[in-house]
Amino acid sequence: MLIHVDDDGIGIPPEEREHIFSAFTRLDRSRDRSTGGYGLGLAIARRVLELHGGTAKADASPLGGARFTLSWKARQ
Ligand SMILES: Nc1ncnc2c1ncn2[C@@H]1O[C@H](COP(=O)(O)OP(=O)(O)OP(=O)(O)O)[C@@H](O)[C@H]1O
Ligand SMILES: [Mg+2]
Write down the domain spans for the chain. 2-71
Question: CB-based contacts of 13: which residues, under 8 Å, 6+ apart?
Answer: 27
Enter the CATH code of domain 2-71: 3.30.565.10
Say yes or no: CB of residue 30 within 6 Å of ligand 1: yes
Sheet-wide strand order for 66-71: 2-6, 66-71, 55-60
The pLDDT of residue 37: 82
Nearest CA to ligand 1 atom 27: 37
Q: How far is the CA of 76 from the centre of ligand 2 (A)?
A: 31
pLDDT (0 to 100) of residue 30: 59
Please name the amino acid found at residue 48. V
Taking the CA of 23 as reference, the closest ligand is: 1
* 10-residue stretch averages of pLDDT, the chain, 76 residues long: 96 97 84 75 97 97 98 85
